[in-house]
Amino acid sequence: MVTIRVEGLCANLGRRAVLHDIDATLAPGALIGIIGPNGAGKSTLVRAMLGLIATTRGSVTIDGRAIATLPPRDRARAIAYLPQGQTLHWPLSVERLVALGRLPHLGPMSRIGAADHDAIAAAMARTDVAHLADRIATELSGGERARVMLARALAVGAPGLAVDEPLAALDPGHQIDVMQLLAREAQAGGLVIAVLHDLSMAARYCDRLLLLDRGTLVADGTPDDVLTQDRLRAVYGITSRIDLGATPPLVAPLDRWTAAPDHGE
Amino acid sequence: MRLTHEPPAPRHYALMPLLIAGVVIVAVASLRLGPVTLSLDRLFAVVMGHGDPVATTILLDLRLPRTLIGLLVGAMLGLAGAVLQGYLRNPLAEPSVLGASNAAALGAVAAIYFGVAGWHPAMLPLLSIATGLIALLLLFTLAGRAESALTLILAGIAVSTLAGAGISLALNLSPNPFAAMEIMTWLMGSIENRSIDHVWIVLPCVIVGGALLLIDRRALDALTLGEDGARSLGVDLRRTRTRLLLGVAIGVGGAVSVSGSIGFIGLIVPHLVRPLTDRSPSAILLPSLLGGAILLVAADILVRLIPTTSELKLGVVTAFLGVPIFLLHLLRERRTW
C-alpha cells in the first residue's frame, strides 16, 4: 500500500515553469488517470511524483516521507515507473529485459533468485509476452515491445505503478488487455497512475481523473465529474460527443473548436 | 513456459573458462617468445630458482615485467571500454572518450619535454597520473551537476581536445628533432623495456580503478532503460558517475602512464565479446577485462616477432590488428545496430 501526497507542487523544465501549484492526494486501491492536451505537464507531474525531477516549490511525500529524502532503492521498491516511449539501448532478450525490474531487490553481489524468477514469469504472463521470452527486444514490433516494457515495470512488484501512455502503439485488443490489467492491479489494492490520451478508455477504466491544462490541475474527480463537453472544449479545444451512461462509456472528439481566441468556459 | 528456477544462462557457458585459458596461454607465450626463445624447461628451471643466469635475466628483468604490464594495461583498457560503452549507451565509446588517456599522455609529454622524465623512471608515470586527475577535476567542473551522458561526452571531448592541444604545443616548441621524436615515440605506445618498478606503479592503479568500475555493473544494466528508467529502478546516477569517472581516471590514467596511448583495445574488445554473452552491459565486463589482456599481450608478442629494421610500436600494431577484426565483426553483427 502506498499513498502519494502532492502539495503546492511547482516544477520547471529548464527555465520554463511547467507545473503550477498542484495539490492532490493519490490513495491506494484506485486507477487514477492523468489526462490533458500535449504539453499540459502530465509526464512532468508523474516524474515529479516519482522524484525524478527537482521541484521548485511544494512537496511530494510517499507514505508521509518526503520523496527527496527517501533512499533511491526504497523509492524504486515503492513505485514502479514505465516512462513514455521507453527507449532500449542494447539488444537484450525479452526475458533479460523484464528481469531488469528486479534490480531494486538485488544487493550488489546477489544473484537473481527463485522469488525473482517467479515475479519475472508472472509479469510476462500477465502482459501476454511469455512466448516472446527468447526474442531480442529491439527486434519486436512496437506493440509487442510496449507490452514487454510494461512487464518490466510489473516485475518490480511495487505497490505503486506509474505508467506514461501505456496504450500508444497497442492494437485495440491489447489496449483493452492493458487497461483491464491496470484496473485489476488497482482493485487488488495497488495505486495505479496512468497518463492517457484515449478519453473513452480513461472514462471506462479509471476510478478518478486528473485533468491538466497548461500546468494547472483544472479538474479532479470521477470521470463523470471531469469529462464534460465544456471542459473538453476549454482544455483540448475540441467539440465532443460524450455518453458516460453507455456501456462502455464513450467520449468521441468531433471537431476542432475554433470560435473565440479566449477559451473561457 | 520456459521459465523455471534456473540461474540466468549466459549464452556460452564456456566463455569465461576459455578466456582464462587464453590469458594463461598468451602469458606463457609472452614469457617464452622474443629474440631469444626460451624452452618451457628453462622457464620452469628459473621459476624453481635454479635456472641459468641468461634465462633468469631475460625472464625476470625483461619478459616478466613486460608480460605483467601487458596483462594489466590490456585488462584495464578492455574493462574501461566495456564500462563506458554501457554507461554512455554508445557502442563507439572507448577509454579515451572522457579525456583520461589524452590528459595522462599530456603529463607524460610534459615530463619528457621539461626533462623531468630523466630524474627517475617513476617521474613520467607519476606526472602522467597527476595530469589525469587534474583532467578529471576539470571534467567534473565542466559537466557540473547535469547527469546526462551527453553533457559528459561533450565535456570529455573538451578536456581531450585541450590535452591534445597541449601535446601539439609541446611538439611544436620542442627544441630539437630528437626531443620531438622522443615524444612521438612515447605517444605511439609501447611496453618494451619496462621494469618491475613500472609494474608497481600500474598495479595499484588498475586494482583501484578496476574495482571502482566493477561496483556499478547493475547500474549499467539499469541504464539500458535510459536515465529516467535507471533512476526509477533505484540507481543513484550521481554516485555512479562519480565512481565511474574516478575509476577511469585512476585506472586508464595509470595504464597510459606506463604504456603510452594504445588505441582500439578498449573499443573492439567489448564488441568482440558482446555476442557471446546475453548482451547486457554487466555481462561483458569480466570477459572484456580478460579479452583486453589477451589481445594486448598477443599484439605485444607480434611486436617482438615481426622482423623490422626500426622497432615496431605496440599502439601501431593494435590499430592494424584491431581495425580489420572490428570491421569483419561489424559486418557480421550489423543487424543488431
Residues counted in chain A: 265
Residue of A91, A103, A108 lying closest to B222 (CB–CB): A103
Q: How far is B146 from chain A (nearest CA, A)?
A: 12
Higher pLDDT, A38 or A85: A38
From the list B250, B174, B155, the residue with the least C-alpha distance to B205 is: B250
Q: How far is B221 from chain A (nearest CA, A)?
A: 7
A83 interaction partners in chain B (CB closer than 8 Å): 225-226, 228-229, 232
> Is the model's pLDDT at A109 over the cut of 90?
no
| A241 pLDDT tier (thresholds 50, 70, 90) | very high
Minimum CA–CA partner of B336 in chain A:
A91
Distance of alpha carbon B234 from alpha carbon A255, whole angstroms: 44
In chain B, the percentage of residues whose pLDDT exceeds 90 is: 33
Tell me how far the alpha carbon of residue A139 is from its chain's centroid.
Answer: 25
B7 part of a folded domain: no
B82 part of a folded domain: yes
> Is the model's pLDDT at A181 over the cut of 90?
yes
Q: How far is A114 from chain B (nearest CA, A)?
A: 5
B277 part of a folded domain: yes
B284 part of a folded domain: yes
B158 part of a folded domain: yes
Segments of chain A assigned E as strands? 4-13, 16-26, 30-35, 57-62, 65-66, 79-82, 160-164, 191-195, 208-213, 216-221, 238-243, 250-256
CATH number of the domain that B294 lies in?
Answer: 1.10.3470.10
Lowest mean per-residue pLDDT among B189-203, B232-246, B295-309, B318-332? B318-332
> Is the model's pLDDT at B312 over the cut of 90?
no
A53 interaction partners in chain B (CB closer than 8 Å): none
Segments of B69-201 assigned E as strands? none
pLDDT at position B6: 40
Q: A83 and B280: CB-CB below 8 Å?
A: no
> Is the model's pLDDT at B7 over the cut of 60?
no
A75 interaction partners in chain B (CB closer than 8 Å): 234
Residue of A79, A96, A138 lying closest to B280 (CB–CB): A96
> Is the model's pLDDT at B204 over the cut of 70?
yes
Q: A–B: how many Cβ contacts below 8 A?
A: 99
In chain A, the percentage of residues whose pLDDT exceeds 90 is: 74
> Is the model's pLDDT at B2 over the cut of 60?
no
What does the DSSP 8-state code read for residue B60? I
B6 part of a folded domain: no
B193 part of a folded domain: yes
Q: How far is B90 from chain A (nearest CA, A)?
A: 8
Q: B222 and A52: CB-CB below 8 Å?
A: no
Q: What average pLDDT does range A146-170 have in this prediction?
A: 93
Query: Helix B285-305 and helix B15-32: axis angle, to 10°?
Result: 20
| B100 pLDDT tier (thresholds 50, 70, 90) | confident
What burial class does residue A239 get, using C-beta atoms within 10 Å of its C-beta: 0-12 exposed, 13-18 middle, 19+ buried? Answer: middle
> Is the model's pLDDT at A260 over the cut of 60?
no
B5 part of a folded domain: no
Q: Are A20 and A216 in contact (CB under 8 A)?
A: yes
pLDDT at position B334: 65
Q: Are A50 and A43 in contact (CB under 8 A)?
A: no
> Is the model's pLDDT at A155 over the cut of 50?
yes
Q: Is A208 helix (H, G, I), strand (E, B) or coil?
A: strand
> Is the model's pLDDT at A265 over the cut of 60?
no
pLDDT at position B193: 82
pLDDT at position B96: 83
In chain B, the percentage of residues whose pLDDT exceeds 70 is: 94
Minimum CA–CA partner of B233 in chain A:
A76
| Structural domains of chain A ordered from first start | 4-92+156-256 (3.40.50.300)
Interface test mutation site (partner B, options A90, A139, A154, max chain B beta carbons within 10 A): A90
Residue of A52, A87, A100 lying closest to B222 (CB–CB): A100
Q: Is B158 helix (H, G, I), strand (E, B) or coil?
A: helix
Note whether A157 contacts B: Cβ–Cβ < 8 A.
no
Q: How far from B90 is each of B149, B223, B253, CA to CA, in Å?
A: 10, 11, 21
Mean pLDDT for chain B overall: 86
Distance of alpha carbon A82 from alpha carbon A155, whole angstroms: 11
Q: How does DSSP assign B3-20, residue by residue?
A: --SSPPPPS-TTHHHHHH
Distance of alpha carbon A34 from alpha carbon B259, whole angstroms: 57
pLDDT at position A183: 95
Q: What average pLDDT does range A108-125 have in this prediction?
A: 87
What does the DSSP 8-state code read for residue A24? E
Tell me how far the alpha carbon of residue B154 is from its chain's centroid.
Answer: 22
Q: How does DSSP assign A91-113, residue by residue?
A: --BHHHHHHGGGGGG--SS----
Dihedral through CA A14, CA A76, CA A145, CA A40, nearest 10?
A: -30
Mean pLDDT for chain A overall: 91
Residue of B3, B222, B232 lying closest to A120 (CB–CB): B3
Q: B224 and A89: CB-CB below 8 Å?
A: yes
CA angle in degrees (0–180, nearest 5) for A70-A75-A76: 150
Note whether A194 contacts B: Cβ–Cβ < 8 A.
no
Lowest mean per-residue pLDDT among A65-69, A246-250, B40-44, B130-134? B40-44
pLDDT at position B111: 87
Note whether A115 contacts B: Cβ–Cβ < 8 A.
no
A76 interaction partners in chain B (CB closer than 8 Å): 232-234
Highest mean pLDDT among A216-220, A241-245, B145-149, B330-334 belongs to A216-220
Q: B232 and A138: CB-CB below 8 Å?
A: no
From the list A83, A7, A3, the residue with the least C-alpha distance to A46 is: A83
Residue of B3, B7, B336 lying closest to A111 (CB–CB): B7
Q: Are A196 and A167 in contact (CB under 8 A)?
A: yes
For residue B193, what are the domain limits?
A: 15-331
**For A52-100, how does the pLDDT look when each residue is reduced to its tens digit (9 = 90+)?**
988 899 999 999 999 988 999 999 999 999 998 778 888 899 999 999 9
Minimum CA–CA partner of A139 in chain B:
B336
Minimum CA–CA partner of B225 in chain A:
A88
Q: How does DSSP assign B118-144, residue by residue?
A: GT-TTHHHHHHHHHHHHHHHHHHHHHT
pLDDT at position B149: 79
Q: What average pLDDT does range B43-58 have in this prediction?
A: 81
**For B258-304, how does the pLDDT look when each residue is reduced to its tens digit (9 = 90+)?**
898 888 899 889 988 988 888 899 999 999 999 999 999 999 999 88
Q: How far is A173 from chain B (nearest CA, A)?
A: 22
Segments of A83-237 assigned E as strands? 160-164, 191-195, 208-213, 216-221
> Is the model's pLDDT at B228 over the cut of 50?
yes
First to last CA, chain B: 29
Q: What average pLDDT does range B56-80 have in this prediction?
A: 91
Lowest mean per-residue pLDDT among A25-34, A144-153, A199-208, B150-159? B150-159
pLDDT at position A166: 92
pLDDT at position B124: 84
pLDDT at position A185: 92
Note whether A110 contacts B: Cβ–Cβ < 8 A.
no
Q: Total domain count for chain B?
A: 1
A86 interaction partners in chain B (CB closer than 8 Å): 225-226, 229
pLDDT at position A247: 86
Note whether A24 contacts B: Cβ–Cβ < 8 A.
no
A120 interaction partners in chain B (CB closer than 8 Å): 3
> What nine digits make up the cell of B157?
571531448
